Amino acid sequence: MVQIFRFMPNTRTNVFCACATSDAMTLAPADAGQQQDGVRATVGVSGDGASLLRGILILWIIRLLFSKTYKLQDSSDLTEKEIEEIIEEWQPEPLVPRMSKEKPAPSYNIVSGPPCHKITVNGKQCINFASFNFLGLLDNDRVKNQALQSLRKYGVGTCGPRGFYGTFDVHLELEDRLAKFMRTEEAIIYSYGFATIASAIPAYSKRGDIVFVDEAACFSIQKGLQASRSHIKYFRHNDMEDLERILKQQELEDQKNPRKARVTRRFIVVEGLYMNTGAICPLPELVKLKYKYKVRIFLEESLSFGVLGQHGRGVTEHFGVNIDDIDLISANMENSLASVGGFCCGRSFVIDHQVFALLAQKAISDYVLIVILSQGYCFSASLPPMLASAAIEALNIMEEDQGLKVVGESISPAFHLQLEQSSGSRESDVRILNRIVEYCMDRKIALTQAHYLEKEEKFLPPPSIRVVVTVEQTEEELEMAANLIKEAAQNILQ
Amino acid sequence: MSRGLARSEEELTGEEVTVLRESLAPRWRDVFLQHLHHTKGGLYKRPFTESFEQAPLYVAVLTYMGFGVVTLFGYFRDFLRAWGFEKCNLAQEREEQKDFVPLYQDFENFYTRNLYMRVRDNWNRPICSLPGPQFDLMERVSDDYNWTFRHTGKVIDGVINMGSYNYLGFAENDPTFLTSVEESNEKYGSGVCSTRQEMGNLDIHEELEKLVATFLGVESAMTFGMGFATNAMNIPALVGKGCLILSDELNHTSLVLGARLSGSTIRVFKHNNMQSLEKLLRDAVVHGQPRSHRPWKKILIIVEGIYSMEGSIVRLPEIIALKKKYKAYLYLDEAHSIGAVGPTGRGVVEFFELDPRDIDVLMGTFTKSFGSSGGYIAGKKELVDFLRLHSHSAVYATSMSPPVAEQILRSMKCIMGLDGTTIGIQRVRRLAENTRYFRQRLNEMGFIIYGHEESPVVPLLLFMPGKVGAFAREMLKRKIGVVVVGFPATPITEARARFCVSAAHTTPMLDKVLNALDELGDHLVLKYSRHTRSSRPELYDETSFEMDD
């Protein structure tokens, strides 16, 4: 029995394994797709034809054995000297383009001192219209004090990622508080705002999945999409018809290939308040489209968190959309909360995935160049505890209600002030509101409660102070009135 | 003749080389000899001793069997769950969205459900104190086999911390050290609310960048708010389409992500293997880009100073020689090495007595040795100026928190001795001594440990999946907090525990850990090393290991 293994390093590796026996011969190409001259397995052919074939095959094998092997690279027949010459000749581009002489080196504005309301830029005192310190919490003494307490206890750095002793009790508290504040099941924090959505998107959306994105999406979303390697489809900024058109198109494509459609995840990625345009996304329409076309929604709320909605819960609260209808909300804590870092929140089903990512990520492993799941969470040092504490205190301040809530559109000249929490009965609510009215009257601001015929009204509105704004009131008077009402509420409702 | 452990940086004499060579076990001897010629040839100024001892064959077989058993049980329990015999604890999709395409594939979760869940209690352990040499852990228990945890409210205090990257012990809360940090918190607040290019470039950032450049001995430096993002957001600014990245196979995820986001072609060379790197470089220069055969625009070699899972130190002198020969650029990530190695804590560049200007891009983080947060990129002025204009981070990400920046300033000044004390340099030396002591003792005990003898990252090989959980739990019982990692973070047969030695560890602390390891090593049969034990054990008993600090 003769057995010949012949490796022929062609441009693609074909491994032919030829076994020759005395009375039957088998020629089995190991790679069936690569048969070159149509020789197929021949088993047990008898007679003259068989011996002829046998002869041809043996000759062919001998030819294979002695023929010149193909080279993997055509050009590796270069001599050593030629190679050295090529290496000598090759000149790479400079690592960074040379700066032209005319264009001076970049200079940043230098802010000396805190970047708060009054700011010193390049030595000039200015009023700050540039920082995202929406709620003025950067300069807040309570926040600073809380950060200081935390600093004294924990030091500055965490010296580790979350998995390896980088999880502090303050991190858990902050996550818990954020989840409660946003009224979601779970929240997780990241140590860098930019990395939040940029890590969250590739944690869910993989190669082959489809993401529908608004054209005006911010840079960190763009980077997240790039990292996800999914199929990206852009729709015109805030144009729901365009989005529906693309979704329909996709639906038609899906019908052609239902098997593929069954495993293709789909996501819409939008911003609550667009960083690049300042526009609000039409969330209710998006939710309708979500259920119609079975697409999940990821919402980036870095600008809208702490700004939109009665309590600052963002665009979901602004539109009164059920937050469970949004699959994932991400926001940073670097604008309204004036700290550092970001968070993702949503249902446990969605969020747990990022926490488990520690291993799931590694299932694909660092060793191959595939990056999935939430790397920003698992592979980076966790948020310094003092910054987490600052964020907690900022949340505390955001959550402290004034006791009164404004009911009515912002453009309505007449609106209502209702009690945030009823004191128990209508009578006592009326009594409390009356004390606020009197407090203001004493200080020369005339207010009135809205009066109703309580028995006759079909649906009796809750007790309220109705405020009417007119053209005659000046800016100062408006401001004075607003401050007085705030003061009254603080004094009477505490 | 007193030959303490703390044999420091001076060169070995010819006689000592012979003694050392004779005393080494066969495999170590090969490694040693391999580097001796480099020492003589001038590339390495001193011996470069790194060890990756292979496990006995039976260990590999048993490890695979271990995985086989848990996998079989996993399938069995999945079967039970599917038929409702066992409660499924995973969070479920809500009713309204049941008909959506599933968010996760079933197999993605198999590992989570069936393997990770068994040992989940050994990760994400919450701590409630400073992450110093000793810390307090929040006690937590699970009533449902690790699916959920409940905090009992009790605190396990005084656990020795062998997991945090607190190499120089700057994770500290001594108020006398922290005055400047407290002041900056009071002055600036904790956030910035703007980006570097917009309104977030504070004077403290400028000061920090000047100091970092001085510390590293380069023209210019730029700092970023997050170490991970420093890599992920700056590599794309440096290379792009038509460029080639040569990346070590064990590079950190952030480097991999940065490389991928850049759009360059990526080729991976074997870990710290110069033959593999040279072959790739040669092929790249000679053959150019695939198909078109146009020459590459630039070639960027990306390596780390100390590899965090292997404890190995990059072969920098050889890489620099290669990069010069092939005109490639070098990106060196010193996340774990800056502050932690080198006679004055300047990282691997100083460790090998090289010129920092030979490295095109010096990158590092402040999370580890400096006990803070964030990262830097340093090098020539034109590189940094370019990044100031083009770095994704400078344009889009909020700048570094002022108190965090102040902590870096403080600790860096301390290492440089600018605070007028010798505390910094003492800590650097102390770390080197602790490292050598710890590694040497582990070697003597017969554990297989990986990496360079001077690397403070010490991986101890456990191999079998079952031992991972047991080891971490037993150590915690002895009040020692360790980090364990297994498949898939490591190759399947190489589960390990990783210790990070710190300058803040006292000798009694290290001895306590070593004694616990000795005991546990026998109990769990972890002493796999087949090399002869040190021929001079009595020396270590004699050495009094005291430092005057």
ipTM: 0.87
DSSP state of A323: G
pTM of the model: 0.82
How many Cβ contacts (< 8 angstroms) between chains A and B? 375
Q: What is the pLDDT of residues B280-331, one digit of tens each?
A: 999 999 999 998 989 999 999 999 999 998 999 999 999 999 999 999 999 9
| Residues in chain A closer than 8 A to B403 (CB atoms) | 147, 151, 156, 386
Contact B103 A87 (CB under 8 A): no
Nearest beta carbon to residue A95 from set B123, B238, B397: B238
Nearest beta carbon to residue B173 from set A115, A154, A347: A154
Q: Which of B365, B373, B412 to probe by mutation at the A interface, max A CB count within 10 Å?
A: B373
Helical H segments across A234-347, by residue range: 240-256, 258-261, 283-293, 315-319
Question: Of how many residues is chain A composed?
Answer: 494
Contact B203 A93 (CB under 8 A): no
Q: Which two tokens stand for residue A70?
A: 């193909």
Dihedral sign (CA A448, A454, A457, A462): positive
C-beta pairs of B75-79 under 8 Å, 24+ apart in sequence: B77/B113, B77/B114, B78/B110, B78/B113, B78/B114
CB A358 within 8 A of CB A161: no
Q: Rounded to the nearest 10 degrees, how much is the dihedral formed by the CA atoms of B479, B480, B486, B490?
A: 170
Chain B touched by A430 (CB under 8 Å): no
Q: Which two tokens stand for residue A422?
A: 């009823």
Of B385, B41, B132, whose CA–CA distance to A156 is shortest?
Answer: B132
Chain B touched by A167 (CB under 8 Å): yes
CA neighbours within 13 Å on the CB side: how many for B226?
30
Q: Quote helix, strand, coil % in chain A, to nearest 5.
A: 40, 20, 40
Burial class (CB in 10 A: 0-12, 13-18, 19+), A455: exposed
Contact A337 B327 (CB under 8 A): no
Residue A436 to chain B, least CA–CA distance (Å): 35
Residue of chain B whose Cα is closest to the Cα of A393: B190
b/e code A271-296 from CB counts within 10 Å (16+ = b): bbbbbeeeebbbbeebbebbeebebb
| Residues in chain A closer than 8 A to B238 (CB atoms) | 95-96
Averaged over successive runs of 10 residues, the pLDDT of chain A (494 residues) comes to 40 38 40 42 56 90 77 65 90 87 73 91 93 91 94 93 90 93 89 89 89 95 92 96 96 92 93 94 96 94 90 91 92 92 85 52 27 58 92 89 72 86 84 90 90 86 90 90 87 78
pLDDT score, position B115: 83
| Residues in chain B closer than 8 A to A358 (CB atoms) | 123-124
CB B269 within 8 A of CB B250: no
Dihedral sign (CA A329, A334, A338, A339): positive
Chain B touched by A470 (CB under 8 Å): no
CA–CA gap between residue B218 and residue B214 (Å, rounded): 6
Contact B260 A152 (CB under 8 A): no
b/e code B78-95 from CB counts within 10 Å (16+ = b): beebeeeeeeeebbebee
Question: Can you point out the beta strands (E) in B42-95?
Answer: 50-51
Residue of chain B whose Cα is closest to the Cα of A228: B261
Burial class (CB in 10 A: 0-12, 13-18, 19+), A163: buried
Average the pLDDT over B58-72 and give the result.
Answer: 91
CB A458 within 8 A of CB A467: no
Residue of chain A whose Cα is closest to the Cα of B411: A156
Distances (CA, A) of B20 to B43, B454, B534: 20, 16, 11
Chain B touched by A223 (CB under 8 Å): yes
Residue B183 to chain A, least CA–CA distance (Å): 9
pLDDT score, position A374: 57
CA–CA gap between residue A109 and residue A299 (Å, rounded): 32
One-letter amino acid for residue A379 of the chain: F
Contact B373 A132 (CB under 8 A): no
Q: Which two tokens stand for residue A132?
A: 């995202």
Chain B touched by A226 (CB under 8 Å): yes
Contact B327 A92 (CB under 8 A): yes
Nearest beta carbon to residue B112 from set A133, A291, A359: A359
Q: Is the peptide bond before B488 cis (omega within 30 degrees of 0)?
A: yes
Residue B49 to chain A, least CA–CA distance (Å): 24
Which residues have CB under 8 Å from A190's CB, separation 6+?
A196, A199, A341, A342, A343, A344, A376, A377, A380, A383
Rounded to a whole number of angstroms, the distance between the first and last alpha carbons of chain B is 25
Q: Which two tokens stand for residue A104?
A: 């001076």
Contact A132 B194 (CB under 8 A): yes
CA–CA gap between residue B366 and residue A381 (Å, rounded): 10
CA–CA gap between residue B78 and residue B76 (Å, rounded): 5
Of A194, A176, A104, A417, whose CA–CA distance to B196 is shortest?
Answer: A194
Cβ atoms < 10 Å from Cβ of B358: 16
Distances (CA, A) of B346 to A43, B7, B341, B458: 71, 19, 7, 20
Chain B touched by A340 (CB under 8 Å): yes
b/e code A109-139 from CB counts within 10 Å (16+ = b): bebeebbbeebebeeeeeebebbbbbbebbb
| Residues in chain A closer than 8 A to B186 (CB atoms) | 144, 148
DSSP state of B90: S
Three-class DSSP labels, B352-410: CCCCHHHCCEEEEECCCCCCCCCEEEEECHHHHHHHHHHCHHHHHCECCCHHHHHHHHH
Contact A363 B298 (CB under 8 A): no
Residue A460 to chain B, least CA–CA distance (Å): 34
CA–CA gap between residue A405 and residue B366 (Å, rounded): 45
Containing A179, the helix (H) or strand (E) segment is: helix A169-182
Three-class DSSP labels, A131-156: CCCCCCHHHCHHHHHHHHHHHHHHCC
CA–CA gap between residue B336 and residue B339 (Å, rounded): 8
pLDDT score, position A69: 62
pLDDT score, position A376: 63
pLDDT score, position A246: 96
One-letter amino acid for residue B402 of the chain: P
| Residues in chain B closer than 8 A to A168 (CB atoms) | 126-128
Q: What is the pLDDT of residues B423-481, one digit of tens each?
A: 999 999 999 999 999 999 999 999 999 999 999 999 999 998 889 999 999 999 999 99
Contact B127 A349 (CB under 8 A): no
CA–CA gap between residue B52 and residue B166 (Å, rounded): 25
Question: Can you point out the beta strands (E) in A33-179?
Answer: 111-112, 118-121, 124-127
Sole residue written with tokens 């050889």: B318
Average the pLDDT over B247-257 and give the result.
Answer: 92
Chain B touched by A105 (CB under 8 Å): yes
Q: What is the pLDDT of residues B142-188, one digit of tens each?
A: 888 887 888 899 999 999 999 999 999 999 999 999 999 999 999 99
Which residues have CB under 8 Å from B537's CB, separation 6+?
B444
DSSP state of B530: -
Burial class (CB in 10 A: 0-12, 13-18, 19+), A346: buried
Contact A367 B103 (CB under 8 A): no
Chain B touched by A220 (CB under 8 Å): yes
- Coil, strand or helix at B285: helix
* R_g (Cα) of chain A, nearest Å: 35
